[in-house]
Chain A
């Protein structure tokens, strides 16, 4: 059953560009990028209960890091560029995570919100490097001998990276580390009493979350092809939070589904213009009221399992 679902999913993902019109290939790339961010954010919020409204900032750092590296050092292979984008962002995540250890709930949300604004200001003020307000055009990258010039080639790159990161996230969450993080979410005191190092794990969650978002940023730069501080406003951060709420906190599959739902929704609401925030907000409120555990838990409940007690 599980293997069949996985195989089916793989066929759909691999066959997607050949079955759908070109625009949906681009859209699927955006979904996969957002899914990576959502998984990263979920590792932080869903697993350790640290809410972040600053992930657009991490995405910006990853995107600019990858774009600048592609421009300044075009000979660096693409996988290394993406890795570097992730590592640079992870370093910033570490720098933000340590002081944030003292903050909880609303205060943490405010600090991360401020972080998002600081990143945008930094991009504006480092204009000798980032071209500030004017925006940065990202040249088409190459993967070894292949130029990634089409939506389809970039799609395959994005879904490959997303698949790797999903597997990695599964490994993290089902390991000792994942259980420690979950214990933290349920009760920090109880977790500490059982020997979980609070500071170390909370910081680790920040670093891993930033790494994921940084890699996603690198892919974002490649797929969109143009970066500007306007790309990374606070509403983008809110979208990421919406993805994990709709998808389901603490669920990797939920993150992917949340990303798919919010991205598709944003895309289809683009035509509703000024009503867009209203419709979007209503959908969010409704999903919180009627589906508090997100899509993941709704599916879980709808699906009877062998061995379930009646």
Chain B
């Protein structure tokens, strides 16, 4: 079975039919959402900043901002679709503010950034091998086995949202399977609110939590392999790039 990433698992869970259009049929998206592109550009800048720090250098703020500016410009070479309250310029401004906050608040130098992993999935509570390979990248690892995921968002996640954050769970699971220890977890939310701010929230997972996650990933991988693709009507449909394809779908 082909390795699966947690973003693909999330994509399938959000809508199996959209997953098929995007990853199986590989139908080009007719447009790209500005919010996703914005998150990638902020991420590119902070990733570069942290890699420089790991390399022993101290990048100055204008250099980090120029990475964001360059990436955001490149994202806009092909048109993006902006939300009602957003524009290319307003997001550029918010992105710069968030990057600046991130740089100013950075304390510990991480031990790794965007560290790739590939691990054969197993249920950590039973040791059962699940015949699925999970692939991904740890956003950021800090001393003391702290695994950090940085995300841009429009609003903050509540406690339940953080406890159920699948990406954090999957990374914790991968870390446990690779290093035989449950890591500490932190979600750094870069909030593009009216007054941009960064919220750092710690959370934790038990081995039982991670066993649940492992079984979920296994089932999703199995469903994809078996070709179980069907629509999941929700509020997301109104902003789905494949809405027209979905409307034309008749069960094939």
Specify whether A and B are partners.
no
